[in-house]
Structure 1
Amino acid sequence: MRSQNPVGDPSHATHATHATHAPSATRAEVWRYIFAGLSASLVSIGLARFGFTPLIPELIHQHWFSTSSVIYLGAANLAGYLIGALIARPIGGRIGNQRALRLMMLLITLTFLACAFPLSLAWYFVWRLLSGVAGGVVMVLVAGTILPHVPPASRGRASGAIFLGLGLGIAATGTLIPLLLGMGLRVTWIGLAVLSAVLSAASWFAWPPVQGHKTAAATAHPAPRHVTTANWRIKLLFGQYALMAASAVAPMVFLVDYISRGLGMGTEYGALFWVLYGVGAIVGPPLYGWVADKAGAQNGMALFSVVQVAMLVGVYQSDNHLLLGLYTLVIGMFAPGMVPLAVARVHELLPHHPVQQNLVWSRATVFSAALMALAAYGFSALFNLVHGQHRLMFLGAAVMVVIALLAEFARLADPAGTRQAA
């Protein structure tokens, strides 16, 4: 159950229940669908969001924009992601998921091309915002489009393969971008546009056919209303998950710039550390999911939150390159790995109630996206306020995870989870 919805969007669990009504697909067709989903996640998040991070030092060095402007441009993608998450379902309902996914991949390709020409800060901001909107739409729709065609016994592995694109994108940008930067910043953006266009074209006809089918969730017996609207543990999860997601913003935005400029190690080392972050992003979801299966989602969230705090404090304190590499690897696991943990926690809180699970997960996703966007601009403002002290960004992220951890003490006061929210 936990591995069926590892991505963190409200539609996954709903659409995953379609499987009993979706037409059967051959093994080759399933793999074709998975390839389309992997391509979409790679382009929309792996390249469009994470690909910007290793470019930050060069955007500053080549005087395209000031340091403060570049940081705000990085945050624009997260603001767009919130918008995309909110409008994804209406778009999918109006034009169909498959068409929406294709159009979003084309839009992301266009944003890469537009960013090759720094006409103005407003121009850049709009295109970075649009890249986030497209990413939010893709992340909400992609799993629900594919999983109904995957055999139930294979859905967990299929989900992992689809969203492997996030980690692959991080690793790819860490290796590809330094090569492209040797030919210039404009060529780098155009190169990303070409790669995005190739993946869009290769996956264009790989999406599942449009099918009309009735959802199992629609006929399920919903939980009583008070379970989702008044259960304080669910609201506690909203806050914890949002804080965990927002804490991942600081390493995502500032890590490469800290290595490259803050420690004076240069762009090449910054890209290398970004590859380590990408390796962690590949390892994170299956590892976190395995721990959730063995120890429970709630215990897993507490365990990995403690680990994340230790790693962030380590980055704050250490100048040792080897230790920083280790910290980066572990920190990279957290952002994608926390999603299946949170999904599993929803299922723990609301067993046997798929409709309410979808409702709760939808709200949790919106809360997390909103706080991520606020955190992005908050960290940007703090970075300017402290005159570019990168270390304080990581310390701030650690504080956010500590707050999420402290919330765990609330459950000790009510082990049965019977208290009602106001």
Structure 2
Amino acid sequence: MSAVPSSCHRCEASPLDAHALFATFAGLCGSLVAIGLARFAYTPLIPSLIEAHWFTSPQTVTLGAANFAGYLIGAMVGRPFAAWLSNRSALRLLMAVVTIAFFTCAWPVSVSWFFFWRLLSGISGGAIMVLVATSILPHIPAPRRGFASGMIFLGMGLGVAASGTLIPQLLHMGLRDTWLGLGALSFSLTALSWFGWPATNPPAPQVAPLHGADRSRLALRVLYAQYAANALGLVPVIVLLVDYVARGLGRGAAVGASYWVLYGLAAIAGPMICGNLGDRIGFGPAWRAALASQAIAVVVLAKTGNPFVFGVATVVIGVFTPGIVPLVLGRIHELVRDNHLEERAAWSRATTAFALFQALGGYGYSHLFSRFHDDYALVFLCGAAALTLAFLADVIMQARRTERHER
């Protein structure tokens, strides 16, 4: 199926009604709680967890990995869980679980206690990630789905920004109060979104098999592989950016933190920029541009010492860290039209592939980093290579589509 936007996408978009806007806001709250806070808020808490003697350094790493492992599990169980309950009930329950996990983490009863709640928080986050957009977008007019998906995943960007700005402020009140504050924020967002989720699941599609379904399935498999490769490309930046600036470039922790704030501010704008770009030029071309831009930016991070150029590259990666989510979701919709059940299944597979390779990349890059004596450039270039391969795969697929059309 061609990646060219349909006439529906070319027409002037109509404004969303109140129900669609409320549902979109609920989706934003969901991504902010499940990913923005549950995942990204943990990173700036690590030094305080160690300094307060809650846990040792190795234990904090293990507890951080618990959320990633849970996210992978959640991506796999999200669909059957929603089928057992309903989209609305499942999302409400999952957000409540994340909220409870924040409150329980305020008391470090034991490592196993903390691990359990971090794992459960990750499971809920992964399931929400699978369900949140596919529960809302079928209720959104097609020309506005890029905008709506951008708004939904804006929560991820807000979480990245909060990890560098809000969390340090909360820590002035103490570690326990920080966890309680995160719980209170999560509770508020859960309450605000409670009645926003669509009350009914979209009707089961009654469509005949699409012509060229085999080609669409191949395109989806390539997209899963590309999304997994994108995870490998982003992990070095997410894990090493601050340390690279502080120690690798010798500019100190304060400067490193300032680049993380810059990265977070760019991440706020990322979903909206990418969602609207997909609406305007089609999600296929927008996805291809994202892969190329990220590959170039990661190479620049590895090779430049110029503060301005480094900052521009940081902004580019910050935009696409959450911005690729609406792009991939939109691309899936282009390949699986008018079948929200298959779209959800495809999105679940894509999310699982991303989660798996994100976890593998984290462990793999850690080994590589240690094995080659803290060689930051090598790790960043490996990430750039993964992004380049994903881009080349898209170029090859586009060339094959063009060749078929010319016959």
Question: Could you tell me which residue of structure 2 aligns to residue 402 of structure 1?
Answer: 388
Letter aligned with residue 51 of structure 1: A
SS at match of 1:371: helix
2: CA distance, partners of 1:123 / 1:193: 17
> Which of residues 184, 196, 199 is equivalent to 2:189?
199
Instruction: Say if 2:353 is the partner of 1:372.
Output: no
Structure 1, gaps ≥5 residues long: 5-25
**Cα gap change, 1:213/1:207 in structure 2, threshold over 3 Å: closer, same or farther?**
closer
Q: What are the superposed Cα offsets for residues 70-122 of structure 1, whole Å, 9 maximum, x if unpaired?
A: 44443332221121111112211222222222222222123223333445544
1: CA distance, partners of 2:140 / 2:212: 32
2: CA distance, partners of 1:190 / 1:270: 28
Instruction: Say if 2:121 is the partner of 1:131.
Output: yes
Instruction: Say if 2:157 is the partner of 1:167.
Output: yes
In the superposition, the TM-score normalised over structure 2's length comes to: 0.81
- Please list, as runs of the form range in 1=range in 2, the aligned pairs for 1:222-261 lying within 5 A after superposition: 222-223=209-210, 227=214, 232-259=218-245
Do the aligned partners of 1:65 and 1:121 also contact (CA within 8 Å) in 2?
Answer: yes
SS at match of 1:335: helix
Question: Could you tell me which residue of structure 2 aligns to residue 11 of structure 1?
Answer: none
Q: What are the superposed Cα offsets for residues 130-188 of structure 1, whole Å, 9 maximum, x if unpaired?
A: 22211111122223333455455544433322221111222223211111222333332
Do the aligned partners of 2:138 and 2:202 also contact (CA within 8 Å) in 1?
Answer: no
Do the aligned partners of 1:53 and 1:256 also contact (CA within 8 Å) in 2?
Answer: no
Question: Could you tell me which residue of structure 1 aligns to residue 74 of structure 2?
Answer: 84
Question: Could you tell me which residue of structure 1 aligns to residue 87 of structure 2?
Answer: 97
CA shift, 1:327, in A, is: 2.1
- Please list, as runs of the form range in 1=range in 2, the aligned pairs for 1:273-284 lying within 5 A after superposition: 273-284=259-270
2: CA distance, partners of 1:373 / 1:48: 16
Q: What are the superposed Cα offsets for residues 298-343 of structure 1, whole Å, 9 maximum, x if unpaired?
A: 4433333232122212222344444433222111112222233334
> Which of residues 200, 206, 213 is equivalent to 1:211?
200
Do the aligned partners of 2:149 and 2:271 also contact (CA within 8 Å) in 1?
Answer: no
Do the aligned partners of 2:50 and 2:57 also contact (CA within 8 Å) in 1?
Answer: yes
2: CA distance, partners of 1:226 / 1:147: 22
**Cα gap change, 1:205/1:57 in structure 2, threshold over 3 Å: closer, same or farther?**
same
**Cα gap change, 1:166/1:96 in structure 2, threshold over 3 Å: closer, same or farther?**
same
1: CA distance, partners of 2:333 / 2:142: 17
Letter aligned with residue 324 of structure 1: F
Question: Could you tell me which residue of structure 2 aligns to residue 110 of structure 1?
Answer: 100
More contact order relative to length (CA 8 Å, sep ≥ 6): 1
Do the aligned partners of 1:56 and 1:257 also contact (CA within 8 Å) in 2?
Answer: no
Do the aligned partners of 1:147 and 1:159 also contact (CA within 8 Å) in 2?
Answer: yes
Instruction: Say if 2:315 is the partner of 1:329.
Output: yes
2: CA distance, partners of 1:317 / 1:98: 47
What is the percentage of aligned positions where both structures have the same residue?
46
**Cα gap change, 1:98/1:347 in structure 2, threshold over 3 Å: closer, same or farther?**
closer
SS at match of 1:207: coil
2: CA distance, partners of 1:98 / 1:355: 16
**Cα gap change, 1:139/1:178 in structure 2, threshold over 3 Å: closer, same or farther?**
same
2: CA distance, partners of 1:395 / 1:69: 29
Question: Could you tell me which residue of structure 2 aligns to residue 288 of structure 1?
Answer: 274
Let me know the Cα RMSD of the aligned residues: 3.5
1: CA distance, partners of 2:246 / 2:76: 35
Length, aligned pairs only: 392
Question: Could you tell me which residue of structure 2 aligns to residue 342 of structure 1?
Answer: 328
Q: What are the superposed Cα offsets for residues 171-221 of structure 1, whole Å, 9 maximum, x if unpaired?
A: 22321111122233333223212211222233334434x336623x2x011
Letter aligned with residue 318 of structure 2: G
In the superposition, the TM-score normalised over structure 1's length comes to: 0.78
1: CA distance, partners of 2:178 / 2:249: 24
Q: What are the superposed Cα offsets for residues 26-68 of structure 1, whole Å, 9 maximum, x if unpaired?
A: 9444433333222111111111112223334444555655555
Q: What are the superposed Cα offsets for residues 236-288 of structure 1, whole Å, 9 maximum, x if unpaired?
A: 22211210133222222332344456566666555433332222223223333
Question: Could you tell me which residue of structure 2 aligns to residue 311 of structure 1?
Answer: 297
Structure 2, gaps ≥5 residues long: 6-15
Instruction: Say if 2:210 is the partner of 1:220.
Output: no
Do the aligned partners of 1:273 and 1:325 also contact (CA within 8 Å) in 2?
Answer: yes
Letter aligned with residue 211 of structure 1: T
> Which of residues 254, 257, 272 is equivalent to 2:258?
272
Instruction: Compare 76-85 and 119-128 and name the one that shifted more.
Output: 119-128
Letter aligned with residue 153 of structure 2: F
**Cα gap change, 1:163/1:331 in structure 2, threshold over 3 Å: closer, same or farther?**
same
